[in-house]
Homo-oligomer: A and B are copies of this chain.
């Protein structure tokens, strides 16, 4: 990693929370220079514009969550555990998420809606990938007999997303971790119910 790339990475790391907390338009260049202890020039030397910084920061935030999900999926021994990777990942991370300004997916989808298509697209890509992965896992589980034949992968994907990002949003906003706990418990129950009795 060259020097320039190191600086870029350091900037991204340090502004990720700022953007997540204040949103794209709420975070000013001054917020970024304060968070990074760099000058405006330094930021513009490493990024084309604020937009690009925000996009990279969002990618960074999403990747941190995605990495934990992937980790959990990779260590799973059955398809149900591969689904459990989602609630498990958030279970492992939710203290970090709540102290970092909330769920970046929820924040981006509500904040950047009409104002910032690029950020929106990035968040939607994550949603799409999540749904596709859940669907594939459910299909695999049905083929192997682990899941009941009428298990609906699309439905489960939507519910996991809704419960988890909705729970994170409300837990952050109310400062009541109970929202996250309830949502994750409910998500786990939904997954469990799909298991065929022979399991």
- Evaluate contact between A113 and B182: CB separation under 8 angstroms: no
Cβ–Cβ < 8 Å partners of A124 in chain B: 173-174
**Interface range on chain A: under 10, 10 to 19, 20 to 34, or 35 or more?**
35 or more
List the B residue with the shortest CB-CB distance to A173.
B109
Give A11 to B150 CA distance when docked, in angstroms. Answer: 51
Tell whether A141 is near chain B: CB-to-CB under 8 Å.
no
Tell whether A123 is near chain B: CB-to-CB under 8 Å.
yes
Q: Which of A160-199 contact B (CB under 8 A)?
A: 161-163, 165-167, 169-170, 172-174, 178-179, 182-183, 186, 190
Tell whether A5 is near chain B: CB-to-CB under 8 Å.
no
List the B residue with the shortest CB-CB distance to A167.
B162
Give A182 to B186 CA distance when docked, in angstroms. Answer: 14
Cβ–Cβ < 8 Å partners of A102 in chain B: 110, 113
Cβ–Cβ < 8 Å partners of A166 in chain B: 106, 161-163, 165-167, 169
Tell whether A87 is near chain B: CB-to-CB under 8 Å.
no
Tell whether A22 is near chain B: CB-to-CB under 8 Å.
yes
- Evaluate contact between B101 and A172: CB separation under 8 angstroms: no
Cβ–Cβ < 8 Å partners of A190 in chain B: 186
Q: Tell me how many chains of this kind the complex includes.
A: 4
Give A190 to B170 CA distance when docked, in angstroms. Answer: 19
- Evaluate contact between B127 and A101: CB separation under 8 angstroms: no
Give A182 to B190 CA distance when docked, in angstroms. Answer: 12
Give A178 to B114 CA distance when docked, in angstroms. Answer: 21
Give A120 to B190 CA distance when docked, in angstroms. Answer: 31
Cβ–Cβ < 8 Å partners of A106 in chain B: 106, 110, 166, 169
User: Nearest 6 A-B pairs (CB), nearest first?
Assistant: A166-B166, A109-B173, A162-B166, A110-B110, A158-B182, A162-B167
Which A residues fall within an 8 A CB radius of B? 21-23, 25-26, 101-102, 106-107, 109-111, 113-115, 120, 123-124, 127, 154-155, 158-159, 161-163, 165-167, 169-170, 172-174, 178-179, 182-183, 186, 190
